[in-house]
């Protein structure tokens, strides 16, 4: 079952790479008490993700915050070290990179995709959501191959 607007986020482990190593965070606790723009990509360093998706949220970070977003978070079914390197390559500390290395978060949301035909395994779909105190306020899931409704501009227009 796919998560929907009005649903509470599932409580699963995500991992954040820091200068001191890696920190496990529970999604239930992490997203509590704040309004978050979260976007998910099929993979770090992949073409659309690197050329458009992440850069859009970096570029629009100040505008998102001006509209009441406390934090911008990116997730992908990648390990925390890859997510940290991708965030550093993007040149911005405005986006928190949370690794969903085992795909548990994507599975719990009901938003996985099968990339095995491309050698990618099971990944998270491309989507964006606004989370308010752990509850889904907005949910924008892309059709396969599309990049429209999960873009930072689209999320910003809908705030």
Model pTM? 0.94
Distance of CA 86 to the CA centre of its chain: 13
The answer to whether 22 and 16 have CB atoms below 8 angstroms apart is yes
Given 14, 36, 49, 73, the catalytic residue:
49
Any idea which architecture 13-157 has in CATH?
3-Layer(aba) Sandwich (3.40)
Instruction: Sketch the domain layout of the chain as residue ranges.
Output: 13-157
Evaluate the CA torsion angle 102, 108, 109, 113 in order and state its sign: positive
pLDDT by residue for the chain (159 residues), tens only, comes to 799 999 999 999 999 988 888 999 999 999 999 999 999 999 888 877 777 889 999 999 999 999 999 999 999 999 999 999 999 988 778 999 999 999 999 999 999 988 888 878 788 999 999 999 999 999 999 998 899 999 999 999 999
Q: What is the pLDDT of residues 69-97, one digit of tens each?
A: 999 999 999 999 999 999 998 877 899 99
DSSP 22-90: EEEEEHHHHTTTSEEEEEE-S-TT-HHIIIIIHHHHHHTHHHHHHTT--EEEEEESS-HHHHHHHHHHH
Q: How far apart (Å, rounded) are the C-alpha atoms in residues 84 and 87?
A: 5
Is 74 noted as a catalytic residue in this protein? no
**DSSP, res 116:** G
Token duo for residue 146: 């599309």
């Amino acid at each position: 079952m796919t998560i929907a607007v009005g649903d509470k986020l599932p409580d699963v482990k995500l991992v954040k790479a820091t200068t001191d190593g890696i920190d496990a965070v529970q999604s239930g606790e992490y997203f509590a008490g704040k309004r978050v723009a979260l976007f998910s990509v099929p993979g770090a360093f992949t073409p659309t993700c690197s050329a458009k998706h992440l850069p859009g949220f970096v570029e629009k970070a100040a505008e998102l915050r001006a509209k009441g977003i406390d934090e911008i978070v990116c997730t992908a079914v990648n390990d925390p070290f890859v997510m940290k390197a991708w965030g550093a390559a993007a040149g911005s500390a405005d986006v928190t990179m949370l690794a969903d290395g085992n795909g548990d978060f994507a599975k719990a949301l009901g938003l996985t995709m099968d990339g095995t035909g491309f050698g990618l395994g099971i990944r998270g779909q491309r989507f964006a959501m606004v989370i308010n105190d752990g509850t889904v306020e907005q949910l924008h899931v892309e059709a396969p191959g599309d990049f429209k409704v999960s873009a930072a501009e689209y999320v910003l227009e809908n705030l």
